[in-house]
Amino acid sequence: MIDWGLRDQATALTALADLVPGTPRWVIGHSIGGLWLAFRPAMAGGERIATVGSGLIHVTDHPFGFRMKARAFWQGPVPDLSRRLGFAPGRLLGFGAGLPLGVCADWRRWSLTNGFHLSDVGSSLQAPDTSLRAAEMRFVAV
């Protein structure tokens, strides 16, 4: 997931800047896509950034009624099925598009580990650097 989030996202944002140079970039990130923006230099170079449903969440942080489903998802058939197929069949499992096997494995590990992604900080992941943030941060929770 680290390669996917950091390198692929950076490549897409660079390609966009090359395609339409000088155009203001408003970046929208959903779920982990929004979370990765904090790991990008200068917060991905966007003039405005909006994230939707982006955050660090352990299975026990879900609402009580959803916890069993989340735990069953990660400790049930998903890991084995994904290994057998070589990818996580998102549509079949009801959670969107298919995901590469490594992305699914990282997501599972982080969802079942207290501290989420922090287990990788210092080894394969640098800590987010928000010192370059120039915009006001606003948070909305519903």
The domain locations on the chain are 1-55+125-142, 57-114
pLDDT digits (tens, 9 = 90+) for 89-134: 888 877 778 888 888 888 888 888 887 777 777 777 777 766 666 6
Phi then psi dihedrals of residue 3, to 5 deg? -60, -45
pLDDT digits (tens, 9 = 90+) for 53-96: 876 678 888 888 888 888 888 888 888 888 999 998 888 877 77
Find, among 83, 129, 76, 131, the residue nearest to 104 by Cα: 83
Alpha-carbon span 83 to 88, nearest angstrom: 8
CB-count exposure of residue 11 (10 Å: 0-12, 13-18, 19+): exposed
Alpha-carbon span 108 to 100, nearest angstrom: 12
Alpha-carbon span 37 to 35, nearest angstrom: 5
Look at residue 43 and tell me whether its pLDDT is greater than 60.
Answer: no
Find, among 101, 93, 110, 84, the residue nearest to 32 by Cα: 110
